Amino acid sequence: MQSLTSYRSLQVSLVLAAAIGMGYALLFLQQHLGLSPCPLCVFQRIGLMIMGGFALIAALFNPRSKLVKLGLWLGSLLGIGWATGVAARHVWLQHLPADQVPSCGPGLDYWLDTLPMNEVLNQVFAGSGECAVVDWSFLGLSIPEQSVIFFSLLIVIHLLLLFRIMRPIT
């Protein structure tokens, strides 16, 4: 019974982390500070929501099968892995010399309305000038740098979950 409690508590901690991360982004950064998310920020949020959704399913339904647990873990890890990769790309764009920053293009809404999804992804990951701007920082860290740290901590929780999943039930 101990491994069940640990597995569930780690899943619940991922759900809470996703809720806190989304609350920070939506309520504090967007509503309180008035910062609009750039396309890379939107994709980071999507990865965080995917992770939270898989973790919520795992916490609520408590699968008995190791294969199902592993599948839910993998889905959750892919979500946070996606978010971490996007945040790392965002940090990279912010640290480019000014003459190497891609020019600003049309917004994400326009791309979604006019381009096929694979081209939207290409445009988003190419980045734009708006993604390289540091609008706000805390303790000297930009929002994407804070995100990389936060997402890395969530990956550590995922690794703890993997050890819980793979440990033989006694």
CATH of domain 2-166: 1.20.1550.10
pLDDT digits (tens, 9 = 90+) for 6-19: 788 888 999 999 99
User: Looking at the chain, how many residues does it have?
Assistant: 170
Give me the pLDDT at residue 106, please: 59
The rounded distance, in Å, linking the Cα atoms of 84 and 105 is: 24
Percent of the chain surpassing pLDDT 70:
84
pLDDT (mean) for 47-55: 93
Give me the pLDDT at residue 125, please: 59
pTM score: 0.80
Give me the pLDDT at residue 1, please: 44
pLDDT digits (tens, 9 = 90+) for 134-168: 888 899 999 999 999 999 999 998 888 888 877 76
**Residue 23 pLDDT level (bands cut at 50, 70, 90):** very high
Of 127, 118, 25, 43, nearest to 83 (Cα)? 43
Give the residue, 164 or 60, on which the prediction is more confident.
60
Calculate the alpha carbon distances from 78 to 49, 51, 82, 109 in Å: 11, 7, 6, 25
Helix (H) or strand (E) holding 129: helix 129-132
**Residue 68 pLDDT level (bands cut at 50, 70, 90):** confident
> Is residue 129 over pLDDT 60?
no
For the chain, domain boundaries: 2-166
E-only strand ranges, 2-154: 137-138, 141-142
Give me the pLDDT at residue 107, please: 62
Give me the pLDDT at residue 52, please: 93
Question: Residue written as tokens 């690794």?
Answer: 159
Which residues, listed in sequence order, are joined to residue 138 by a DSSP beta bridge?
Answer: 141
The rounded distance, in Å, linking the Cα atoms of 19 and 30 is: 15
